[in-house]
Each structure stands twice: as C-alpha cells, then as structure tokens.
C-alpha cells in the first residue's frame, strides 16, 4: 500500500491508493482525471521518500468523484447588556477525489480493489422454518372497564376550619346555648 502526502489549496492531505479524500473545491468536472503538482512525501512499505520541499519524480493521479458540501458551521456573536446578537452560518464546498495511482511517471501499476461482499438472496435466507406465535389471551382489565367514561361529578369545595385560641370566640359560643 502506497501512501503520499500531497498539497492542494495550501493544505496537506494524506493520499492512499484506492481511497477518497475531500479537498477544497477544484475547478474540474466530475469524472476528469488530474495529477497533483506538489507531492511532499511518498511511502511504500519500508521505503520512504521525503521531498525538499517536493519529490520531483513521484506522480499522484486522482479522479474527481463528486462535488459535495461540508457540514454547517454556525457562528454566534453575543454581547451581554448591549442587545447584540448576530447569528450566521456557512457550508464549505469540497471536491471528493479518488486516488488511483501513486508512483513514478513511467511505472505501470494496478490497484488491488476490495471486492464487495456478495449479497444473499432473500429466498435462501427464508429457508428456516418460522415458529408461529401464540395468540395472547384477552386482558381481564379490558373487560371490566366501560367503553365510555361517565361524566365527573362537580367538585365540592372543602371547608378549611381554623381553630382560634382566643377566649372571646369560645365564650360567645357558650353564651348562646
């Protein structure tokens, strides 16, 4: 497996043969092939080639797979006690690249692509016998509950009794008897 560090748009990316990378938006159409101009490092197993600043004889070729938008980034400025609240957002544009070849310009090399697992047809998967589920007995609570709820009786006010400890109120009651 060959690995290269390439520079695109002032940023460095780790390129691995057969994988994809997302770089800043490039002005290439989908399906178009191009070569990276600046290759900073190339590693193939134990051999590592480091450029000063670039490795001249190494070529990294890629194909544009698609143009995508990145995740939304929200910015919020807030100043307390001054009624300043500014909310903004941004989605960055990226180009997804498939790295096809890393090596010398005249070298012919093919990438060993990973094979996708074979899908099993549904008919083969359903050969196992199905177990029939037993029907549940009706719930006893459902039979006891009436279909409609009866209207609620109007709520009565509860009187709150307060006992007074003063002697004048107790004496009045005794005088009336």
The pLDDT value recorded for residue 57 is 87
Q: Which of 72, 74, 67, 76 is nearest to 91 (CA)?
A: 72
Of 173 and 27, which is predicted with more confidence?
27
The pLDDT value recorded for residue 136 is 67
The pLDDT value recorded for residue 107 is 76
69 pLDDT tier (thresholds 50, 70, 90): very high
pLDDT mean over 102-118: 65
Answer for the pair 88, 100: CB distance below 8 angstroms, yes or no.
no
Of 150 and 79, which is predicted with more confidence?
79
Token pair of 90 as six digits:
């941004």
**Residue partners of 63: CB distance under 8 A and separation at least 6:** 31, 32, 33, 97, 98, 100
């Amino acid at each position: 497996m060959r690995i290269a560090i390439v520079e695109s748009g002032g940023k460095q990316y780790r390129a691995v043969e057969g994988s994809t990378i997302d770089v800043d938006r490039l002005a290439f159409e989908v399906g178009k092939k191009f070569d990276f101009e600046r290759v900073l490092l190339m590693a193939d197993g134990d051999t590592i080639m480091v450029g000063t600043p670039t490795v001249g004889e190494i070529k990294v070729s890629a194909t544009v797979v698609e143009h995508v938008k990145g995740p939304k980034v929200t910015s919020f400025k807030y100043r307390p006690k001054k009624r300043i609240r500014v909310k903004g957002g941004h989605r960055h544009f990226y180009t997804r690249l498939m790295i096809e070849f890393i090596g010398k310009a005249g070298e012919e090399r093919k990438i060993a692509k990973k094979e996708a697992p074979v899908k099993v047809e549904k008919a083969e998967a359903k050969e196992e016998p199905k177990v029939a589920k037993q029907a549940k007995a009706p719930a006893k609570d459902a039979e006891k509950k009436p279909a409609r709820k009866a209207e609620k009786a109007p709520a009565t006010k509860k009187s709150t009794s307060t006992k007074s400890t003063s002697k004048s109120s107790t004496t009045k009651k005794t005088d009336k008897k």
